[in-house]
Structure 1
Amino acid sequence: MALEEYDCIVLGAGIQGSFTAYHLAKSKKKTLLLEQFVLPHSRGSSHGQTRIIRKAYKEDFYVHMMEESYELWAQLEREAGVKLLTRTGLLMMGPEDGREFRLVKSTLQKNRIPAVVLQRHEFSQHIPNVNLTPGDGALVETTGGVLYADRAVRAAQMVFQGHGGVIRDGEKVVEIVPGNVVTVKTGSGMYRARSLVITAGPWANPLLMHTGLRLPLKVLKINVCYWKEKVPGAYSVNSRFPCFIQMQPKEAENDIYGLPSNEYPGLMKVCYHTGSETDPDQRDRQTDKSDVEILSRYIARCFPGLVPVPAVVESCLYTVTPDCHFVLDRHPAYSNIVIGAGFSGHGFKLSPIVGKVLSELSMGQAPSYDLSPFSIRRFHTLPKSGL
């Protein structure tokens, strides 16, 4: 079995791993991007046509990261020669006196993010075909929009390869041997590198177990639902309908989000921001549809122009931390093993920055951002004894 040597190996070729590899190759590091499935695939968290991009967050640190993230998305568009982003605006709705809505509103104002607060009497004039819940406030973050997900993953990988990066897909990792030089064994090869980055999404913990570490990550299966427009185009990108997030809906405890009809003509994507716990290798056995019932009730009440029965149901996986913030850190026992995990269903838009800081950590550099919100130590998780 041939032994190939690299400066860095990145495990997992979703959007986070692809951007990490992209930054490493642009820094002239000999980099291998390893993926267990044959590319492209739909078994993880980065597939599908669209994701929301936004600066509307409660936390200042995400807002600050998103400023540069928009710049890096535009840079990738130029490098790859493909359109990756359409600005539609993002409609935020939620109880006007609720803590969550007020926090987002104040964070946007404090950071001078362009946003328009919609008064109830003018809401339907600006946002047709949506019923605003009594007691809810509404605002539109004008910089928000739609990211083209599959296209983005391909673009990052293409630029990575253009800088000399190597992708090997269909290679499942069977062993990781830590050390000053890390050895990674797959079913068909053995690779060594001075540093290793693990961005394996739902498979993060199975890989970390090779290094004696387990993080408090839960894997959830999300039903990705598409709903038919009664009048074609009423909620479309072309009619300038915005993406939306409904905070604290009456029907449920978690947010509901949606994107204008785009990937499937005449179908709007509306999803519940959580799902049922699953084993990523047994996901198809998880058939819980309670979230679809919640969405049907919400759509019947708030989106009168949609048929309240989904026309298409696909699936995606979230890997969720207890506080829904990411893990971006070095391994507690092995400083040349870097971990990016737990993106909790909102990490795609931040992947250019995630890739940047993970590449910096793997090169032994100080990260460009304060990573304390993303530290492993916040979980009080330590490696097993003996490491």
Structure 2
Amino acid sequence: METYGAIVVGCGGLGSAALHRLARELGPRVLGLEQFGLGHDRGASQDHSRIIRLVQHQPQYAALARPAYAAWAEVEEESGQTLVTRTGGLVIEDRAARRGVDSGTRNIEGYTDVLARYGVDHEVLDAAGITARWPQFRLDGGEVALHQSESGIVDAARANAVHVALARAHGATVREHAAVRSVRPDGAGVVVETDEQTFLADRVVVTADAWTNRVLRGCGVHLPLTVTQEQVTYYATPHLAEFSPARFPVFMWHGEHNFYGFPVYGEVATKLGQHMGGPETTAEDRTFEPDPVRRARYGRFVDQHLPRFGGPELYTRTCLYTVPPDQDFVLDTVPDHPQVAVAVGAGHAYKFAALIGGLLADLALDRAPAHPIDAFSLTRPALTDPAFVTAFHV
């Protein structure tokens, strides 16, 4: 039986980051196990781009936002690769469409209150101010927006590959097509079983997302996770200069639906998605077929508010969100089994991935986490109280 200091189960966004951080400390005593090929399209971390931002409406995430930028900068410094592209970012609230919607703190005032607490510079603009600066938008007049200059893009697929390469440079081993069937605490260590082989580790980090409950069965853990199938569409806009990263920001749109969009990046195309709202599924039952209802919804939004952003559809790509009932991360060790650490990204973790990798290394190596993560505990009511009411922001 091969023995390691730490094994990471799942080498997507969070797992590859944890692999890198653990390998920096443990070198060849680290093993990464990926059930598919590296860079596969079956989970949550594929594709070119994710939004990174200091703009958060909940303090537990605002506290991690600046450290996340610092963590990405460390990875860029070590690798010599550019992973973060600053474009500036907008949060646009369509107040007419949001009337009657219980948005909690997900309105402009909720964001600005938290930003003031954390000393994040920002501007609030009315509809005229938005279109004066970014005439690409077509607005109805009742919109209000928050602009923050440090928002931008993290290149997800490239960052995953960089994390794996750096981990290997520190001596870690990564095995593809090695599906983990069981993670079982055994004394102070952990037995990890794949179809082909059994391993023993001092510590295990589970970053299996939609497969989390299958992997954790041997720990006596079953989390109330909802898996949804989401999608993004790339448009081959002919107006490339107008939507270059230097001239057009990443944006989030809070209206009847919550959209998010990107300038031309990764493909010669713009990109639009909807946060949440996709059908429930499982890792086994999901399809790779785009939902025509949401595809048409995206087209209507583009036609109404960003007509030159659109163009021939390059492609629509699906992915999975794995979401606890409160839509917050899981970032903790298993109760009674501290040698097993778990992370679930809840569909919005990628911007923090480089930082979460370090926090998982802290948990795995029995250190106090470098930043506060109590809100993401496995023992919180959302995960332990059967009467907890699921509350997704869609």
TM-score, normalised with respect to structure 1: 0.91
Tell me whether 1:49 sits opposite 2:12 in the alignment: no
**How far is 1:182 from its partner?**
0.8
Q: Which runs of 5+ in 2 are unaligned?
A: 386-394
Contact 1:10 1:32 in 2 (8 A): yes
CA RMSD in angstroms comes to 2.0
Alignment partner of 1:356 out of 355, 358, 373: 358
Contact 2:260 2:272 in 1 (8 A): yes
For 1:45 and 1:355, the matched residues in 2 are separated by 16
Alignment partner of 1:292 out of 292, 295, 306: 295
**How far is 1:109 from its partner?**
2.6
Task: Within 5 Å, give how 1:254-333 maps onto structure 2.
Answer: 255-265=258-268, 267-274=269-276, 275-284=278-287, 288-307=291-310, 310-333=313-336
Alignment partner of 2:19 out of 9, 18, 21: 21
Other-structure match for 2:245: 237
For 1:242 and 1:57, the matched residues in 2 are separated by 17
Other-structure match for 1:65: 64
For 2:321 and 2:154, the matched residues in 1 are separated by 18
SS of the residue 2:314 aligns to: strand
Contact 1:220 1:277 in 2 (8 A): yes
Other-structure match for 1:186: 194
Other-structure match for 1:91: 90
Task: Within 5 Å, give how 1:28-43 maps onto structure 2.
Answer: 28=26, 30-43=29-42
Contact 1:296 1:309 in 2 (8 A): no
- Partner amino acid for 1:236? S
**How far is 1:367 from its partner?**
1.2
For 1:366 and 1:166, the matched residues in 2 are separated by 26
**How far is 1:311 from its partner?**
3.5
Q: Tell me how many residue pairs correspond in the alignment.
A: 374
* Distance change >3 Å, CA 308–CA 295, structure 1 → 2: farther
Q: Which runs of 5+ in 1 are unaligned?
A: none
- Partner amino acid for 2:195? G
SS of the residue 2:236 aligns to: strand
* Distance change >3 Å, CA 149–CA 110, structure 1 → 2: same
SS of the residue 1:28 aligns to: helix
SS of the residue 2:338 aligns to: coil
For 1:379 and 1:203, the matched residues in 2 are separated by 22
**How far is 1:358 from its partner?**
1.3
**How far is 1:297 from its partner?**
1.9
SS of the residue 2:284 aligns to: helix
Other-structure match for 2:180: 173
For 2:140 and 2:162, the matched residues in 1 are separated by 40
Contact 1:23 1:355 in 2 (8 A): yes
* Distance change >3 Å, CA 285–CA 20, structure 1 → 2: closer
For 2:377 and 2:182, the matched residues in 1 are separated by 25
- Partner amino acid for 1:363? L
**How far is 1:46 from its partner?**
1.1
Task: Within 5 Å, give how 1:128-139 maps onto structure 2.
Answer: 128-139=135-146
- Partner amino acid for 1:207? V
Other-structure match for 1:80: 79
For 1:144 and 1:324, the matched residues in 2 are separated by 22
Tell me whether 1:164 sits opposite 2:171 in the alignment: yes
SS of the residue 1:229 aligns to: coil
**How far is 1:246 from its partner?**
0.5
**How far is 1:380 from its partner?**
6.1
Contact 2:205 2:340 in 1 (8 A): yes
Deviates more, 1:132-141 or 1:196-205: 132-141
**How far is 1:326 from its partner?**
0.2
**How far is 1:17 from its partner?**
0.7
Deviates more, 1:140-149 or 1:294-303: 294-303
Tell me whether 1:155 sits opposite 2:162 in the alignment: yes
